[in-house]
Structure 1
Amino acid sequence: MHDPLLATGHRTTRYSRCTYLLLGSLTLLLLSIWLLPQSAELKQSHGWFPTWLHTTTEFFAIVVAMLVFSVTWHSYRVERAGNLLILACGFLAVGLLDFAHVLSYRGMPNFITPASPEKAIDFWLAARLSAAICLLIVALRPWTALRKATTRYYLLAAALLVTALFSYLQLWHPALFPRTFIDGVGLTPLKIIVEWLVISVLIAAALCFWRDSRRAHAYDARGLFLAVALSILSELCFTAYSNVNDIYSLLGHLYKVLSYWFIYRVVFISSVREPYLRLAAEVSERQAAEQKIETLAFYDTLTGLPNLELLRDRTNQSLAANHRNHKHVALLFMDIDAFKTVNDSLGHSYGDALLVALAERLRLLLRHSDTLCRPGGDEFLILLPDLESADDAAAIAQKIMALQRQPFSLFGRTISSSLSLGVAVAPSDGDCFESLRRNAETAMYKAKQAGRQTWRFFDATMNSEALEHLNLLNGLRQAIEGDELLLHYQPQIDLRDGTLIGVEALVRWQHPEWGLVAPGRFIPAAEESRLIVPMGEWILQHACAQAAAWHRAGLVIPQIAVNLSAIQLQHGNVERLVLQALASSQLPAHMLELEITESSLLDNTAQVLETLKRIKAMGVRLSIDDFGTGYSSLAYLRNLAVDKLKIDQSFVRDLTTGSDSRAIITAIVQMARSLGLETIAEGVEDAPTANALYRLGCLQAQGYLYARPLPAEQLAQFVREQIPLPCAVLNHELSV
């Protein structure tokens, strides 16, 4: 963006160099005329400065002096420095005195009294002395505003009063003034003394301006210094001339005009140009601020893409336009798969860089009329107007999926990512932005449910599924708050003697209208919505309380197992909850076993391990659920000091028919034995499976062979009436 003040600074530098060069040249010119051997007759020739040229130069100086006053006076504001007004009013007096000097010059018509050299010299000296005193005051006074706004009028009145008083005395009482010129003799010593007095005052002012020009000041001290320096040269000329028409008189008047011009330039820049330029930096800044506000209001600060508000406006415009020309409008909703893993494992800098790189990659696929938007997080939307058919949107979706398979290079690291994408096409899938966005998002979630790294068109059945899902979540929230949850308990059996070694607490949902809701239906929804966190807290509290109640009632139930989800471990403050549950129920810590899924060890590993270590230190037992389905490291098992591995039912179910399952279970049992861990199999539904497990060395089991998950009262009855039938059956089969 162009900066007027910066450009002005460059121009000021060039101006300073030129003016210093001019000052040096004019000084050399005066010295050369003064010192070079030339005839006195040549220097004193009356042809150098005729009356008409004198009148012209003086009137030019008068006009400049009046401009100094008028420009400053009419542009002055109270916050400006009062020095400008002092300069303006001072040069008003100087201009008026110069005008009287011109009218008094020899050869001019009578001005009240006859023209004469002495009359002209008196007005001349008064003007020079006024200018010198004015410049010295400006040089000495701080460059600050006047204390009162009315002071300007006092300055104006003082300038006019001094001028009027001097003019009155000179015109009507000339005898009061000492002689400054004698016909046939020339200038008197008094005139020369006054000229040197003026020079002395100007030198003092010049020194002040020179000092200020070497520092940072709010005014053009360098310009005023040059003006005063030229005035000094002018006055030196007037101390050297022998007649009003010689070469020194010519040079003196020329230097005087240049001095006035520099003063006018200073006040013009300070009063007119500088405020104008300042107004132009302000306008530019305001425009930049407005542009920034617009950017913040309608664009994403990270990627520079349009945000949701701008996309909404463009979508509605496209819908209106395409309704007239019978075209289609598509909205694509994208979400980066497992983006949280990138942030958590590599840091947010990598996550941000991935978002920026993806935005750049998506731009390459789009037309000029398309709009790529980032509403926030790891979501992107694409507006595709003017489509002939839905197939055009499908082609773009396919290209995006193909392009996204290429890895990204971020900070020297290669990162692969994938997208889930949903497509909604107007008018069939919606006639406004909100409906298109909602339906495209629904289609995107269907793509995630289909395994991610794919895309889906929206269809009407998705809405009914989404509505059902929403009703399920709302009902689940009410269930947690409204005491609709209950626990069932499944016995865990020792295969060696058939005795009860514990129970696993399993949550159930008794809905007042839907009846008993299957866990496979609401548990995934609870994990997706993170309702599993408050649900898990409820389960832990009630399971510990029930186990303590059985213990007090004399029932022999050695331990109770409670499942913990990965989300609970990451966000549920499990350590505090376990302490509260044990303390409130008075359940011994060794009677509580926490089952953690193998996959939960992969998320936030350091945090999870530290939490589980502290829980283990309380005396609580730990087991790994669904073992064999994930990718847990043996180091985790060693570091956590896990007590038990729970063999997933998918292996147990095929144990008697599949050699792969037998090999996997054998490996798990042998590994557990080498680490000093127990093993328990879930999903045991028949005696042959129990027999096979026993042969392989797995000594604990649970499943329908022994009992289904039972309410607390039925479980208590089961314990009281327990008959070790499965063990007898097992021993019978072993004997056979």
Structure 2
Amino acid sequence: MAIAPSQVYILFPESAPRLFADVSRPLSDRSSASRLTPAALLVAALALGLLGVWLIDDLADLRGSPAWFPVWLHSITEVFSITVAVLVFAVAWHSNHSQSRSNPLLGCAFLAIALLDLAHLLSYKGMPDFVTPASPEKAIGFWLVARLFTAAALLLVAIRWSNRQAGRSRLGLLVASLATVALTLYLKLYQPQIWPRTFIEGQGLTAFKIAVEWLLIALLGIAAARFWYLRNADLPYDARGMLAATLISILSELCFTFYGNVNSFYSLLGHIYKIISYCFIYQVVFVASIRAPYERLSQEMNERQAAERQVEFLAFHDSLTGLPNQSLLKDRTRQALSRTQRKGGLIAMLFLDVDDFKLINDALGHGQGDALLRAMARRLESLIPESATPSRSGGDEFVILLADLEDTDAVANRVQQILAGLEEPFVIAGERLQISVSLGAAVAPGDAEDFAGLLRNAEMAMYRAKASGRRTWRYYDVEMDSEMQQRLQMINDLRQAVGNQELVLYYQPQIDLRSNAIIAVEALIRWQHPSRGLVPPDQFIPLAEDSGLIVSIGAWTLDEACRQMARWRTEGAEIACVAVNISAVQLYQGDLESAVTGALKRHALPASCLELELTESSLIRNTTQVLEKLDRLKRLGVRLSIDDFGTGYSSLAYLQRLAVDMLKIDRTFVQNLHAADGVAIVSAIIQMATALGLQTLAEGVEDQLTGEALQALGCDFAQGYHYARPCPAANLALGNGGRNFA
């Protein structure tokens, strides 16, 4: 909104919109402006214009001619000035807020200026009598007092326009301004003899008048210097606009030091400059008092509307990925089911879970885990049609609604596309991550008739896929209901197993292939369920990992194995150590070092009597984190081994950096030892371990020929059913010196 546009356009029809472009910009934009603004260019142009009129000799007749500023034109300019001054008073008076404490001062000053300019207009030579006859002397007197008000007001604003200083009483300022005007009127109209002479007809301005003009210029110069200092400050008003107004007022006063005739061109130029200065002041007051607050209000309203839109968006979308949440998915599922009932066809709900996402989170950090989920969301959106609805259920779980399908083949085709698309590596923070997902699918009509049923059945199918080895998918079938109930019951029972002392350790001997003596034992956990009997680890360990119980179960296993090992040492059994399996979850989530230290200390067991078996896949998740943790464990004095070696993707360079003592050759290679390629693989592992200074142990040895072949290849140790099956500690005959299997 431009101020007083019709008035400004009278003088500058082309430049008026640009004239105030700077002072009407937002304060934040003005404070950082470094280029010449339209206001600065205007001030420079006005100064050059005045300088040209003053210096160019050919314009001497122009400067001295009395025809340039007749009474009627003077009246127009003064009416214009008075109008703008009254507008400044009106806006400043009615904008009484804490950020504009100097507004009342400026407003009351401009009310006085308007009244004095009116008196000046009525006293101008050629006007009718205003109490006393009009004369240049009388008009100049009112003029000088008005200009003193202008200079004083601008100076006080420049010095005092600060939130740290309290504003004066508005009513007091108003009374003081009106009283000063009344006193000036009385003295000028009824006591003219006390006023010094300011103008002598035929001679021009007196020394007193010129001195007062230079005093005004000095006061305005101080104000201008202050506004220049504040030009880039964060103020509730535009210091640049006030600077322009002050500089133009100085140019106006300079005009009134030059003229020798009240109707000269200098007088006209001075009045025009005064009007422009008033317009700048009005614009600054208007922007600071009215426009800026409305702009702030508008900005606050826009921010509030944006916040409301954000709240509305978050009510139906996931905050991390931006995908629809379960509320929106539920609504779209209802719509899709309704269309299916009317038009036929199928809908399918797909439930995806990222395999081993906890390990990714723990190894790479939650920040990169979140980045992976966002990247997965974008990938899923690109893999499904527009009619489908992808959503994030929570954690690393995603649910996709496929609508308007013709048959189950369409479901299978889409699932295969999704799985294949997610197999492509993700680049997160410059690192390539390859993931796999387990996916379950439920179809309606058939598997369920509502959202809750579809979601539950798709989730059960997903768990079936995980139980089937992960990295695959399964359709829902009715048998999964009972399996899910069993799963939930198993997890609930497992939570109570430690407290109920249902967990037990079995021990399997590890044999030195050179002496055939037992040199160590591996602790293998079993669950003695009160109703199910002995539950093997492959049935409950995955449940423990998924439910987070593996950390507490692992801590119990460490403690119990150390207790038993300490007892064997007391009994004189000469075995080197007990080996305990450590899951990947324990390695990354649990406080493994504290658990190990605590178990050793409680049972007074030397650290060398404990061996920790870590799977190869868990060791390659995060090189830096793994190396640091393994180094700390190694400094404790415990032995470290890599279990199921050969099933992961360890490189030779990586193995060199790991502080491990032994490689356990996976049973799949050992059982294939009688084939040519099997011999080559086992031989290569043994030779590599020897080169790295590591010992080797073969798992799953089930016959004597395999043991002899391993010994011939240079393998150090072996374990398997050929030597002994896992059994409770009480059933394991160790004796002094250990049992010999020769």
TM-score in terms of structure 2 length: 0.77
Answering whether residue 223 of structure 2 is matched by residue 208 of structure 1, we say yes
Answering whether residue 47 of structure 2 is matched by residue 24 of structure 1, we say yes
From the superposition, tell whether residues 330 and 159 of structure 1 become closer, same or farther in structure 2 (CA, over 3 Å): farther
From the superposition, tell whether residues 472 and 206 of structure 1 become closer, same or farther in structure 2 (CA, over 3 Å): same
Deviations 1:444-495 (A, max 9, x none): 3333443444333333333432332222122122111221122344566788
The residue aligned with 1:68 is 88
Answering whether residue 104 of structure 2 is matched by residue 85 of structure 1, we say yes
- Identify which of 50, 54, 73 aligns with 2:74: 54
Answering whether residue 501 of structure 2 is matched by residue 483 of structure 1, we say yes
Deviations 1:481-511 (A, max 9, x none): 2211223445667889987666554333222
The residue aligned with 2:7 is none
Answering whether residue 121 of structure 2 is matched by residue 102 of structure 1, we say yes
Matches of 1:644 and 1:297, distance apart in 2? 52
Matches of 2:678 and 2:606, distance apart in 1? 37
The residue aligned with 1:541 is 559
Matches of 1:537 and 1:709, distance apart in 2? 21
The residue aligned with 1:44 is 66
From the superposition, tell whether residues 276 and 111 of structure 1 become closer, same or farther in structure 2 (CA, over 3 Å): same
CA contact (8 A) 1:503 1:557 kept: no
Instruction: Please tell me whether Structure 1 or Structure 2 has the larger radius of gyration of its CA atoms.
Output: 1
Matches of 1:291 and 1:723, distance apart in 2? 75
CA contact (8 A) 1:195 1:235 kept: no
Shift, 1:195, TM fit: 4.6
RMSD after superposition: 4.9
Matches of 1:530 and 1:335, distance apart in 2? 16
Matches of 1:330 and 1:516, distance apart in 2? 39
Matches of 1:530 and 1:458, distance apart in 2? 26
CA contact (8 A) 2:667 2:698 kept: no
Shift, 1:666, TM fit: 7.8
TM-score in terms of structure 1 length: 0.77
The residue aligned with 1:306 is 322
From the superposition, tell whether residues 643 and 334 of structure 1 become closer, same or farther in structure 2 (CA, over 3 Å): closer
Matches of 1:280 and 1:97, distance apart in 2? 39
Shift, 1:414, TM fit: 6.5
Matches of 2:28 and 2:124, distance apart in 1? 47
Deviations 1:69-111 (A, max 9, x none): 11111123233142x3333212211211222233344554444
Q: Which runs of 5+ in 2 are unaligned?
A: 1-24
Deviations 1:505-531 (A, max 9, x none): 433322222232233322343344453
Deviations 1:131-183 (A, max 9, x none): 344344444x232248555522211111100111222333444455456667x
Q: 2:227 corresponds to which letter in structure 1? A: D
The residue aligned with 1:144 is 162
Which SS does the other structure have where 2:114 is aligned?
Answer: helix
Shift, 1:27, TM fit: 0.7
Which SS does the other structure have where 2:162 is aligned?
Answer: coil
Matches of 1:670 and 1:25, distance apart in 2? 94
From the superposition, tell whether residues 237 and 201 of structure 1 become closer, same or farther in structure 2 (CA, over 3 Å): closer
- Identify which of 11, 26, 38 aligns with 1:15: 38
Answering whether residue 329 of structure 2 is matched by residue 315 of structure 1, we say yes
CA contact (8 A) 2:197 2:208 kept: no
CA contact (8 A) 1:495 1:701 kept: yes
From the superposition, tell whether residues 560 and 467 of structure 1 become closer, same or farther in structure 2 (CA, over 3 Å): farther
Q: 1:205 corresponds to which letter in structure 2? A: L
From the superposition, tell whether residues 491 and 81 of structure 1 become closer, same or farther in structure 2 (CA, over 3 Å): closer
Matches of 1:131 and 1:514, distance apart in 2? 99
Matches of 1:243 and 1:595, distance apart in 2? 108
Q: 2:336 corresponds to which letter in structure 1? A: N
Deviations 1:401-432 (A, max 9, x none): 34345555678876654443333445655566
From the superposition, tell whether residues 367 and 76 of structure 1 become closer, same or farther in structure 2 (CA, over 3 Å): farther
Matches of 2:60 and 2:520, distance apart in 1? 127
Moved more, 4-13 or 415-424: 4-13
The residue aligned with 1:130 is 149
Q: Which runs of 5+ in 1 are unaligned?
A: 728-736
Matches of 2:714 and 2:131, distance apart in 1? 137
- Identify which of 196, 213, 220 aligns with 1:198: 213
Moved more, 391-400 or 60-69: 391-400
- Identify which of 152, 160, 180 aligns with 2:178: 160
Answering whether residue 565 of structure 2 is matched by residue 565 of structure 1, we say no
The residue aligned with 1:442 is 460
Deviations 1:247-275 (A, max 9, x none): 45444433433333333333333333343
From the superposition, tell whether residues 59 and 195 of structure 1 become closer, same or farther in structure 2 (CA, over 3 Å): farther
Matches of 1:232 and 1:270, distance apart in 2? 23
Answering whether residue 339 of structure 2 is matched by residue 325 of structure 1, we say yes
Deviations 1:672-731 (A, max 9, x none): 8997957666464x7887888889998977666776544444446x969x998x86xxxx
Determine what percentage of the aligned residue pairs are the same residue.
Answer: 47
Moved more, 281-290 or 195-204: 281-290
Matches of 1:359 and 1:464, distance apart in 2? 32
The residue aligned with 1:731 is none
Answering whether residue 282 of structure 2 is matched by residue 264 of structure 1, we say yes
CA contact (8 A) 2:101 2:166 kept: no
Which SS does the other structure have where 1:562 is aligned?
Answer: strand
Count, aligned residues:
707
Moved more, 535-544 or 569-578: 569-578
From the superposition, tell whether residues 393 and 189 of structure 1 become closer, same or farther in structure 2 (CA, over 3 Å): same
CA contact (8 A) 1:505 1:560 kept: no
Q: 1:204 corresponds to which letter in structure 2? A: L
- Counterparts of 1:144-543 in structure 2, within 5 Å, are 144-145=162-163, 147-148=165-166, 151-177=169-195, 185=201, 193-210=208-225, 212-213=227-228, 215-217=231-233, 218=235, 219-238=237-256, 244-283=262-301, 305-307=321-323, 310-326=324-340, 329-337=347-355, 357-374=375-392, 378-385=396-403, 387=405, 392-407=410-425, 416-425=434-443, 436-490=454-508, 504-543=522-561
From the superposition, tell whether residues 484 and 170 of structure 1 become closer, same or farther in structure 2 (CA, over 3 Å): same
